[in-house]
Structure formats: structure tokens, C-alpha cells
Amino acid sequence: MLLKRWLVGNPLKTAQAAHQRLSKRLALAVFSSDALSSVAYATEEILLVLVPASLAFAHFSIPISLMIILLLGILTLSYSQIIFEYPDGGGAYIVSKSNLGEWPGLTAAASLMIDYVLTVAVSVAAGIAAITSAVPALFPYRTVLGVMAIILVLLVNLRGVRESGKVFAVPTYLFIGGLLLMLAAGTYQLLFGQLMPAPAQNMATQTAVESISVFLLLRAFSSGCTALTGVEVISNGVPAFRPPEPKNAAITMITMALVLGTLFLGISTMAYQLGILPKDDETVISQVARAIFGEGPLYYLIQISTMSILVLAANSAFAGFPRLASLLARDGYMPHQMELMGDRLVFSNGILILGVFSCLLIILFNGDTHALIPLYAVGVFLSFTLSQIGMVRRWLNKRGPHWRKKIAINGIGAIATAIATTIIASTKFIHGAWIVIVLIPILILMFQGIHAHYQAVSEQILLDRRGSRPPMPQRNIVIIPISGVNRAIIRAVDYARSRPGEVRAVFVDVDPEATARLEMQWAQWGCGVTLIVLPSPYRSILNSVLDYVEAILEKEPDTWVTVVLPEILPARWWQNILHNQRALLLKASLLFKDRVILTDVPFHLTR
Amino acid sequence: MLLKRWLVGNPLKTAQAAHQRLSKRLALAVFSSDALSSVAYATEEILLVLVPASLAFAHFSIPISLMIILLLGILTLSYSQIIFEYPDGGGAYIVSKSNLGEWPGLTAAASLMIDYVLTVAVSVAAGIAAITSAVPALFPYRTVLGVMAIILVLLVNLRGVRESGKVFAVPTYLFIGGLLLMLAAGTYQLLFGQLMPAPAQNMATQTAVESISVFLLLRAFSSGCTALTGVEVISNGVPAFRPPEPKNAAITMITMALVLGTLFLGISTMAYQLGILPKDDETVISQVARAIFGEGPLYYLIQISTMSILVLAANSAFAGFPRLASLLARDGYMPHQMELMGDRLVFSNGILILGVFSCLLIILFNGDTHALIPLYAVGVFLSFTLSQIGMVRRWLNKRGPHWRKKIAINGIGAIATAIATTIIASTKFIHGAWIVIVLIPILILMFQGIHAHYQAVSEQILLDRRGSRPPMPQRNIVIIPISGVNRAIIRAVDYARSRPGEVRAVFVDVDPEATARLEMQWAQWGCGVTLIVLPSPYRSILNSVLDYVEAILEKEPDTWVTVVLPEILPARWWQNILHNQRALLLKASLLFKDRVILTDVPFHLTR
């Protein structure tokens, strides 16, 4: 408990949950870390598909980046419409469920849940890669470092991120500023001759004869699409903006898209100009920064701010996942525990689950970004598609002003994202996307199963409308399992005698001598309570008592059996291991029997 | 449960615990595996001390082996006297405690417990070494193989070894026969020239100028003393012999000592004659066997029977440790759980603890026999010494026929083992014996602490001699924490209303709207039971209820608080994770409060 307080902080009052409203500048920092941070790995992932096939293919990274930026533009327009239509926050789950129904809603929810886990794993892996690029000695420890980073983010989130805005602003703007400076310096050096753009182009001409397959291009496009993960985040956070919320959110989203597009295209071009190729132990960004800045402080600034914004991206999933889980729990698709706010006003259970699963991914994939990427983006693009289709459906039903234009925008969004989803799912299928494609229906079935269970429970516990009370057994037999005669046991017997019902003390015979001794003591202390001696051929006290209780329940269908357990409770917690855990086992076994009521009568030791 | 049944078997009746009486031939197999198996590593451990200092020292292994055989003779004579004096089994704990008192008894018990754990670890490590000597490809997996072997022996013991005699006889006699054949064949080949005795003697002459230090000789002697571990086992098992038990046991013990002495001296001599030196990845025995038999079936027979007898030695510790733990538990020095026989008539708890600690040793020491050896033998020889001193004390008190002769025999035993203990503890101190020397007092303090606790408990629960019953609080307040109004809750309320005491339903206010709705429902369903609405600024239902209960307990010192918990129990166990664990947490917190009685009223779901 003390450990928990120290790690997590003191409980917060419900009244402390007041909303902090964000300016556009702070909101950009808070909501765009997920999207912007993906430029840290997107260019590299494109190159990693192209270059192993042929060095000559490196230049295809430029047109592919342009395609992705086109997709970004379409998405930004589409999402602006969602922002105005769902000012309370329009996640894919809500938009899909309210416009398309339960199954599409659950599909979006399942995709999102998987992608939150992947956002944490991919971002942390890429953040650690930024560090190990600068300090290669740490490379062998990337899995451990990744797990430690997740645990840190987890603890911060269990405390509740209250000072969010300012904490986010510094690394986000450092990252944007640092990368822009790097691109500007690089361009200057390329133009005025301090840097040689040679090697990459040389390579290109050298083997230019080879022709590229469409599949390879599409696969490179799929990998690059990870740059777009997180662009929807602003549309979930509309209520956090200052009024007029939708307008401010839309402006912020467009700004974010411009920054993202600039950085992504800039890095892709610069990497190509400098002839930089992916390496196992150094990221492309790190190579670009090293080429432009050398090993100076600016280089380290780039690496550190890259790591920071990636950690913030992971952090944003720790806000999104528990919120989605609580929405699902509210609708009965996830365990009710997900809906409870912990004492720090955060959804602690969701945070813990996300932490566990993302750590698992980091461990399974050895903290390797490239291995995780094929799993990523499938879910994101599936939820994009469902949201856009949902919006088209909404406009069709609702009409309203400019509905045709709105349908056109979301329709183009739907078609573009559907195509992208298909490309990603098919080109990355064998590399890992199949895992996600298998998991989504499993999650949907789980949601449905939970829903059905809660439905069945609420029907079974519903009270009779005409006001008749549930029937109660008429008789009550009280059973006290005893192991001897002592103060704790006599206390329980006296408690039982003071209430209605027939009382029977039950003793299990394992040693005839002990039984004879007990019978004599009972004559003195039993106060007339019947003593029943049970045989125990297998020496199992637990089973003998259970059998006896079951026999009563079977013989007398209209009877409660109240089992009164005398419990000796030691003065110090560790002394519990010195006491027989029989009572605990008996309780665990009896709890699941109908018509059995368990009563603990404690006897507290003082030393 | 099913898994347990499959692994461990069906429960056995107490009546099935009949004693199997063993013939001398079977008894030799059952009780001597621990002692005989140590020849598998003892020679090698002597050489491992001598050879790294100088190859010329290898020939000292012969006089050292002779010294150890002298010690074996002394021990055998001394233990024969224990056998006749303690026909019910005279372990070091019993002999020391009954003759020297509590502290020496506990010292012997602590030494024995540590050595049982080491017997398992050393035997299994050496057994795996026998296998990896024959199949070098398995060498990197020795830790895993060791842990698997321990788990196997553990499971066999949890089932209970019923067919013991015959199962033990085959590998033990194969081992004895195989080694004797190997020594005979080796001697024949050495005499008639098929084997060259050259290399070792060459080395000896080559560097014979160096002189050996006394410390090194003593250290080699210490290592060789591991050959004597387990010679006391027969004296624990006297009741298992056919009558006249002591005589048969003594004859068996002397036979065992003769076999052990022959094998040990034979292997030491043969290894020296063949110039065999210890290697990292092949045992000395394996080298000897390979030199004599080549790579044929007889070589593999030696390796397999060596492994088998070592596993049997580990197995014997699985009989000894739990029996010792149950003796200690009976005397109140270990938790009472150790005294309970499981449903397969074995002391399951002791078996599990031994398994866990020996696995831990194998893992910590990477399954390396040589690393474990310095920890071994200290405890064994300490318990030998305490037993012998105990016997001397016994003869002094009891006198009786031939008491002077008997004192002389046990006295010589006591002096010899005391000297050996001192040598082992001092020469092996820095190599690991210090761990044991630190652990023994810690264990003794643990035994004492447990004893003191049980003493305090039995005083506190002792009934008044004059027959007055423990006082009972006069009033009873019944509290039902409710989360709403449903069949489960109304059932609990009706149960509470049917018994004496003032009933109060308690509802924690987290949402004013829900509270207002509940109050309305309560007017219809509450049947006049007081409804108390508790505030909850921190949203913690648990803490609000706990605070309320504590407030009552404090205000009214002469009152029971009975907390009635309505519990919804799902039809299938896995559905439990979908239900709030609040009831469980509340129970766990309330159990440790004095004057609080917990009552569960279950409501079972049917689907």
C-alpha cells in the first residue's frame, strides 16, 4: 500500500476532475505527438522494403512519400468533418456504432485496441532505437530499455497526467524545431557544396536497369502509411479545446497535417539526397542528423527530442486505450472494472492492461521496430475506413446543408482508406498483418460474449415487477467445523447458539484417540450442541466437511446451510503462513455452492 | 484439479499406509543409493583440488582416499551402535535432541535440511554430468536438464513411491556390478598389457620436485569426504527391515560400507593408473570407462547406471527431507502444514519445498557439480558429529553393559567427525561453506521463532480451567453494503432480517442521480430496513464502507458488526473475472478487524 502511494500518489477527489482547456498551441503539442512521431520511422520503413531488393530502388521513396502525403490531405479533410459533427469527441468506435450499428462499431473498437497496444510498442521501440543510434553500447539492451520505458510511462499515467499541456509542449516543439533546422541546414549544405549528394544517385544509375514490381511498390507504400497513424487523435479530443471547440480543433488538425507532411517529405528527400540507407543499429534519422550536424550537441538534441516525442506518442495511447475500454465497459462489452476510475481519477485497469500487452510485444519482438511495423497500420486504416463509411451513411440519412459535398469528401476518404487498408493487409499479410486480422474477430467475439453474459445476469437478478420477493429456504442448519476445543471455537459456537437454526459441531476423525479426547471435552464445553464425528478415510478434512454439507443440501431442498468458521487471526500478517490454510480452502470450496451461507467468526490474537 | 489427479494420482486411504518390510538385499538398494552414488564424483573432486596446483600431485589421491575409507570404517562402527539403540530410526535430529537438548537438536536439524537440498542438487548435477559426458551435445543444456530431472523426481514423490524396493534394486545393482566389472576389466588390461598405465606416472616423475602444502592436502581430503554423505541413511530406516530389524540393518550397513570402500578406492586407483585428469565436459568416471570399455555398450551402461543411481540418491532426499520437516512440525518448529500427509500419503508440502530450493540451487550454480561441492558435506559432518557426541552422552547417563567400549567407539567417531567437520568448514570456507555456516543459525532462529509463535497462540486460545466461557459482545449491528436493488441484494436483506440484530443497508454515493433513484427503489423494497448513504469523495466504495464499520466499532465497544455480503456467483468459473472483485477486497480487509463477522449470502446464476 505504501509502495502504491509512493509510486502513484495520494487519492484525488472526484471534484478535482475539472477540465483543463487547451490553447491551439498546447493542443497541437498534446494531440499530435502520436502522428508527428511517426516520421521518426516512416521513411526508414519505406527504404527497408526498397533497398534490400535493389539499391537502385531507393529513389522510389520520394513518389511513395508524395502518395502518402496525398492520403494525409484526404484524411485531414475527412476528419475535419467528423470534428464538426462530433464535438464531444468522435472516435471510430462511436462514429461506426452510431451510424453503422453494433458489429462495425465493435470492429472499429477491436482495431483500435490492437493499435493502441502497437502504438506503445512501436513508439517505444523506435524511441529506444533513437537512443541506441546515439549510444551504440546500449544496443544489446534495447528490449530491457523498452520495457523500462513502458513501465515509466505506465506509472506516470497511473498517477494521472495533470500538468499535461506544458510537459508535452517542450519535446514536441523541440522535435519540430530540431527537424526543421536539420532540413534547412541540410538543404543549405547541399546547395552550397559542403555536403556531397553523390553516393545515392551513383548507386541509382549504377543498377538502374532493374525494374521494380508493383507489389514491392505497394509494400513500400504500406510501410510508409505508418506515418499516418495518430492523425485521428485530435478528433477524439475536441472537448479539450477552447471555444469555439470544433473550429479550433479543425485549425489545429490542418496545422498538424502541414507540419507532418513537411517533415515526412523533407526527411525522405534528404535521406535520398544524402544516399542514406537503413542500417541495423542506427536509424535513418540519426544518420541524416549525423551527416548534417556531425557529432555535435545538435545531433544529440535531435536524438533526444525524437526519443521524447516517441515516448509522448506511447503516452497518448495510455490515454486513448483506457478511455475506449471504459466506453466499451459502459456499453457492456468489456468487464465493468474498466469503467471504474482509480483513486487518481484515471482508468487504472485499462492502463495496466495496455502496459502488460505492450511490454509483451516488446519482449516477443525483441524491441525491434521493423518487426512490429507489419502489424501496425492495418487496424488504424480499418478504423479510418469504418469512420468514413459511417460519416457517408450519416450524411445520407441526415442530409442537411451541403450534404452532397460532405458525402463527396467522406466518400473519397472512405475509398482512399479502404484501398490503403486492402493494400496494407495484403502486402503485409505474411509479415505479421495476419496476426491482427486473426485477432480482430477474436476480440469481437469476446466483446459479444461479455455482452451476452451481462445481459443474462441482469435478467436473472431483475426483481419481480409485481413486487414479490425472491423465495427463501425455510429451515436453517448451522454447521461449525471444529478441530478441537479452544477459545476461538467456543466463541464461534456461542455466536451460532445465539441465532436461530439448528446448530451442529462437526469434527473429522483422523485419529481415534484424538476423537475420544474431543468427545470428552465436548461434554464439558459443548453446551448441548450436537457433535457430529465424520469419518475420513483419505485424511482430507476439507473433503469430509464438503461431503457432509452436500449430503444435507441434497436431502433437504428447503434448507439453508450456514457454515460458521472459527478463524484464528494472528497479530502479524506474516504469521498467517504458520496457520493452516484449511479455513481458506473450505471457504473457497463452499462459496460456489447454492444455499450455503458462510460466516467467519474471527478470534484475534494479540501477540 | 484434473491436472493434479493425472500427475499425482487418486487419493489413497490411510489404511493403505501399511509398511512394506524389506529384505537385506532390497534394503541395500533402497537405502544406499545416496552413499554409493557419491563415488560418481568423489574421486574427481579430490583430483580437482590436487591437479590444478600441479600434475605431480595426482598420486596423493590414493592416500587421501585411504584416509577417507578409514573414516568410513569409524562411521560404520559408530552408526551400528545407533542402529541398535534407536530401532525406530535414529536421525541426527532425534539423537541430538534426546541426548543433548533443544539447541544441538535444532543445529542437527538445520544442517540436515540444508544437506537434503544439497543432496538433490549435487546428485542431479552429477547425474546430468554422466549423461553430458556420454552425449557432449547436451552439455549446454545441463541446467535445464537438471531442473527437469528434479521436477520428475518431485512428481514421482508426490505420487508416493510405493513400488520402491524393486524399482531401486535394478539401477543400484547395475551400478555396483557395472563398476566392479569395469575395475576388474581395467586391472586385467593393466596387468596383461592392453592398457598403458604410463601417462600419469610419467607426469608424476616429471615434476616430482614440487612439495605439496598441508592446506592443499586437507582441502582435497574435504572434497573427498563427499563420498561419505549418505552413509547414515540406513540408521534412519531401521523399522523398514525384516526382524530382527537392528541386526539386519547393521549387517546391511557394513555390506554397504564394504561396497562403497571398494568402489571408491578402486576408482581412485584406476584413475591414477590410467593417468586420467579432470576435464570440464567429461567426468573422471566416464573417462575411466571409456579408456577400459571403449565407446561400446558397456560404456553407456556405466553412464546410464551412474545417472540412475544419482537420481535415486536425489530421490532419497525427497523421502528424508519431508520426514524431518514433519518431525520438526510435530515439535512445533516448522509450520503445522508440514505435518499433514497429502492425499497420496506423502508429506506433499515438504516435497514441494525441497523441489523448489534444489531447483534454485541448480539454476544459481548453472548445474555445475564442482561449484556445489564446497557447500556440501559441512552440514552432513556437523550432524554426524552431533549424533556421535549425543551417543557418548547417552552411554555416560545410561551406562549398561559394555558401556566403556561403546563410549570408546562413539567417542572415536565423535572426534574423527569433529576433526573432519573442522577441516571441511575451514578449507572450503571461502569456496562456499560460509553460505552453509551462515544459513544454519538463520534456520535455527526461524525454528525458534515458529516455536515461540505456536506457544503464544496455544496460551491465548486456551480455555479457562474453571469453565467460564470467553466473553461475547452484547449487541449486534448488521450491515449490508448494497450497490443497487436486485434479487441478490433483496435475498441478503431478507436473510439478515430473519436473524437478531439491528439491520442497516449501506449505499455509497458516487453519483447523486443514482443515489436518488436508489432511495426511491428502497422505499418499495427495503421492508423498513434503514438505508444509510455514505459520502465518497474519492469514489472508493471499499474505503467508505471500511470507514463506516470502523466508526461503529470505535463508538460501540460492546458490539459485533456482522457484515452481510450479497454475492452474485456466475454459472461458470471464468465469468468471475467479469464481476467486480469488490466483495473479495471488502472481505480481505474486514477479515482482519476484531469483532467483525463476515457473512456471505450467495445468489447463484444459472446461466
Mean pLDDT of A336-359: 80
User: 111-150 in B: which are within 8 Å (CB) of A?
Assistant: none
* Strand A475-482 relative to strand A502-509, pairing: parallel
Q: Are residues A552 and A493 in the same domain?
A: yes
Q: Are residues B288 and B203 in the same domain?
A: yes
- Residue B146: its pLDDT value, please? 93
User: 341-370 in B: which are within 8 Å (CB) of A?
Assistant: 341, 343
B345: closest CA of chain A, how far (Å): 9
Q: Are residues A426 and A486 in the same domain?
A: no
Q: Residue B299: inside a domain, yes or no?
A: yes
Q: Are residues A447 and A480 in the same domain?
A: no
- Residue A19: its pLDDT value, please? 56
Tell me which residue has cell 539526397.
A273
Lowest mean pLDDT among A4-13, A152-161, A329-338, B550-559: A4-13
A604, containing H or E segment = strand A596-604
Lowest mean pLDDT among A214-228, A268-282, B528-542: B528-542
Q: Burial of A215 by CB count in 10 Å (0-12 exposed, 13-18 middle, 19+ buried)? A: exposed
- Per the model's pLDDT, the better-predicted residue between B159 and A401 turns out to be A401
Question: What strand order describes the sheet that includes A596-604?
Answer: A530-535, A502-509, A475-482, A559-569, A596-604, B596-604, B559-569, B475-482, B502-509, B530-535
Give strand ranges (E) for A410-501.
475-482
Nearest by CB to B500, from A14, A499, A580: name it.
A499
A510: closest CA of chain B, how far (Å): 9
How far is residue A409's CA from residue A391's CA, in Å, rounded to a whole number? Answer: 10
Q: Based on the structure, what is the number of domains in chain A?
A: 2
Q: Residue B385: inside a domain, yes or no?
A: yes
A499 part of contact set with chain B, CB < 8 Å: yes
A540: closest CA of chain B, how far (Å): 7
- Residue A579: its pLDDT value, please? 78
B452 part of contact set with chain A, CB < 8 Å: no
Tell me which residue has cell 471457504.
A587
In chain B, whose CA is at the least distance from the CA of A591? B602
How far is residue B288's CA from residue A150's CA, in Å, rounded to a whole number? Answer: 55
Rounded (5°) CA angle B275-B280-B286: 55
pLDDT in tens, B536-550: 877 777 888 999 999
Lowest mean pLDDT among A265-274, A295-304, B210-219, B449-458: B210-219
pLDDT in tens, A552-574: 999 988 888 999 999 888 888 77
- Note down the domain range covering A535: 475-604
pLDDT in tens, A138-187: 888 889 999 999 998 888 888 765 545 677 788 899 999 999 999 999 99
Residue A195: HSE in the Cβ half-sphere, 13 Å Cα cutoff:
26
User: Which residues touch B575 (CB under 8 Å, ≥6 apart)?
Assistant: A453, B605
User: 291-350 in B: which are within 8 Å (CB) of A?
Assistant: 335-337, 340-341, 343
- Residue B200: its pLDDT value, please? 47
- Residue B95: its pLDDT value, please? 92
For residue B488, the chain A residues in CB contact (below 8 A) are 461
Asked if A538 lies within 8 A of B343 by C-beta distance, the reply is yes
- Per the model's pLDDT, the better-predicted residue between B18 and A8 turns out to be A8
How far is residue A359's CA from residue B439's CA, in Å, rounded to a whole number? Answer: 37
Strand pairing partners for B65? none
The gap from C-alpha A29 to its chain's centroid, in whole angstroms, comes to 22
Q: CA B605 → CA A454, B231, B492, B572, B586, distances in Å?
A: 11, 61, 15, 9, 21
Asked which of A401, A416, A451 is the last residue of a domain, the reply is: A451
Q: Are residues B180 and B259 in the same domain?
A: yes
8 A C-beta contact, residue A48 and residue A431: no
How far is residue B376's CA from residue B228's CA, in Å, rounded to a whole number? Answer: 11
How far is residue B566's CA from residue B589's CA, in Å, rounded to a whole number? Answer: 16
The CATH number covering residue B540 comes to 3.40.50.620
Q: Burial of B553 by CB count in 10 Å (0-12 exposed, 13-18 middle, 19+ buried)? A: middle
- Residue B257: its pLDDT value, please? 95
How far is residue B269's CA from residue B274's CA, in Å, rounded to a whole number? Answer: 9
Q: Burial letters for A434-448: b for 16+ Cβ neighbours within 10 Å, e otherwise?
A: eebbebbeebbeebe
Q: Could you tell me if residue B275 is left (phi over 0), alpha (psi between -120 and 50 degrees) or otherwise beta? A: left
Tell me which residue has cell 497518448.
A316
Mean pLDDT of A34-48: 92
For residue A454, the chain B residues in CB contact (below 8 A) are 578
Residue B281 is classified by DSSP as S
Write out the three cell numbers for A422.
486492402
Rounded (5°) CA angle B293-B295-B296: 70
- Residue A602, SS3? strand
8 A C-beta contact, residue B291 and residue B274: yes
- Residue A512: its pLDDT value, please? 87
| Residue B208: other Cβ atoms inside 10 A | 12
Q: Are residues A573 and A534 in the same domain?
A: yes
Write out the three cell numbers for A193.
557544396
Q: Are residues A160 and A303 in the same domain?
A: yes
Asked which of B422, B454, B486 is the last residue of a domain, the reply is: B454
- Residue B591: its pLDDT value, please? 78
A537: closest CA of chain B, how far (Å): 5
Q: Residue A395: inside a domain, yes or no?
A: yes
8 A C-beta contact, residue B575 and residue A335: no
- Polymer length in residues for chain A: 607
| Residue A71: other Cβ atoms inside 10 A | 23
Q: Residue A432: inside a domain, yes or no?
A: yes
For residue A584, the chain B residues in CB contact (below 8 A) are none
8 A C-beta contact, residue B569 and residue B602: yes
Q: What is the mean pLDDT of chain A?
A: 87
B439: closest CA of chain A, how far (Å): 20
Mean pLDDT of A83-87: 89
Lowest mean pLDDT among A374-388, B31-45, B126-140, B235-249: B235-249
8 A C-beta contact, residue B50 and residue B57: yes
Q: CA A443 → CA A328, B5, B441, distances in Å?
A: 12, 34, 55
- Residue A2: its pLDDT value, please? 64
pLDDT in tens, B257-306: 999 999 999 999 999 988 888 988 899 999 999 999 988 899 999 999 99
Q: What is the pTM (predicted TM-score) of this model?
A: 0.71
- Residue A286: its pLDDT value, please? 94
Mean pLDDT of B346-370: 89
How far is residue B221's CA from residue A403's CA, in Å, rounded to a whole number? Answer: 97
Asked if A602 lies within 8 A of B581 by C-beta distance, the reply is no
B467 part of contact set with chain A, CB < 8 Å: yes
In angstroms and rounded to an integer, the radius of gyration of the C-alpha atoms of chain B is 32
Give whichever of A389-393, A600-604, B565-569 has the largest mean pLDDT: A389-393
Q: Residue B350: inside a domain, yes or no?
A: no
B605 part of contact set with chain A, CB < 8 Å: yes
Asked which of B391, B420, B454 is the last residue of a domain, the reply is: B454
A532: closest CA of chain B, how far (Å): 21
Q: Residue B347: inside a domain, yes or no?
A: no
In chain B, whose CA is at the least distance from the CA of A599? B599
Write out the three cell numbers for B99.
541426548
Taking 70 as the threshold, does the pLDDT of residue A580 lie above it? no
Q: Are residues A438 and A563 in the same domain?
A: no
B581 part of contact set with chain A, CB < 8 Å: yes
For residue B544, the chain A residues in CB contact (below 8 A) are none
Lowest mean pLDDT among B76-90, B191-205, B478-492: B191-205
Taking 50 as the threshold, does the pLDDT of residue B495 lie above it? yes
Mean pLDDT of B358-374: 90
The CATH number covering residue A201 comes to 1.20.1740.10
How far is residue A112's CA from residue A376's CA, in Å, rounded to a whole number? Answer: 11
How far is residue B482's CA from residue A219's CA, in Å, rounded to a whole number? Answer: 57
Taking 60 as the threshold, does the pLDDT of residue A503 lie above it? yes
In chain B, whose CA is at the least distance from the CA of A487? B461
Taking 60 as the threshold, does the pLDDT of residue B513 lie above it? yes
Taking 80 as the threshold, does the pLDDT of residue B204 lie above it? no
Q: Are residues B189 and B63 in the same domain?
A: yes
B1 part of contact set with chain A, CB < 8 Å: no
- Residue A319: its pLDDT value, please? 83
A173 part of contact set with chain B, CB < 8 Å: no
- Residue B54: its pLDDT value, please? 82
Instruction: Kindly state the percentage of chain B with pLDDT values over 70.
Output: 92
Q: Burial letters for A190-214: b for 16+ Cβ neighbours within 10 Å, e otherwise?
A: beeeebebeebeebbeeeeeeeeee
pLDDT in tens, A433-480: 999 999 999 999 999 999 999 999 888 888 887 778 877 888 889 999
Instruction: Kindly state the percentage of chain A with pLDDT values over 90.
Output: 47
The gap from C-alpha B272 to its chain's centroid, in whole angstroms, comes to 36
- Residue A185: its pLDDT value, please? 92
Q: Are residues A379 and A446 in the same domain?
A: yes
Residue B75: HSE in the Cβ half-sphere, 13 Å Cα cutoff:
34
Is the peptide bond between B602 and the residue preceding it cis, with omega within 30 degrees of 0? no
User: Which residues touch B452 (CB under 8 Å, ≥6 apart)?
Assistant: none
Q: Residue B336: inside a domain, yes or no?
A: no
Q: What is the mean pLDDT of chain B?
A: 87
Q: Residue B294: inside a domain, yes or no?
A: yes
How far is residue A177's CA from residue A162's CA, in Å, rounded to a whole number? Answer: 25
- Tell me the count of A-B CB pairs closer than 8 A: 170
Q: Are residues A111 and A250 in the same domain?
A: yes
- Residue A554, SS3? helix
8 A C-beta contact, residue A460 and residue B607: yes
How far is residue B545's CA from residue B540's CA, in Å, rounded to a whole number? Answer: 9
Q: Are residues B210 and B104 in the same domain?
A: yes
- Residue B587: its pLDDT value, please? 82
Instruction: Kindly state the percentage of chain A with pLDDT values over 70.
Output: 92
Residue A538 is classified by DSSP as T
Give the mutation candidate from B347, B453, B493 for the A interface (greatest A CB count, under 10 A): B453
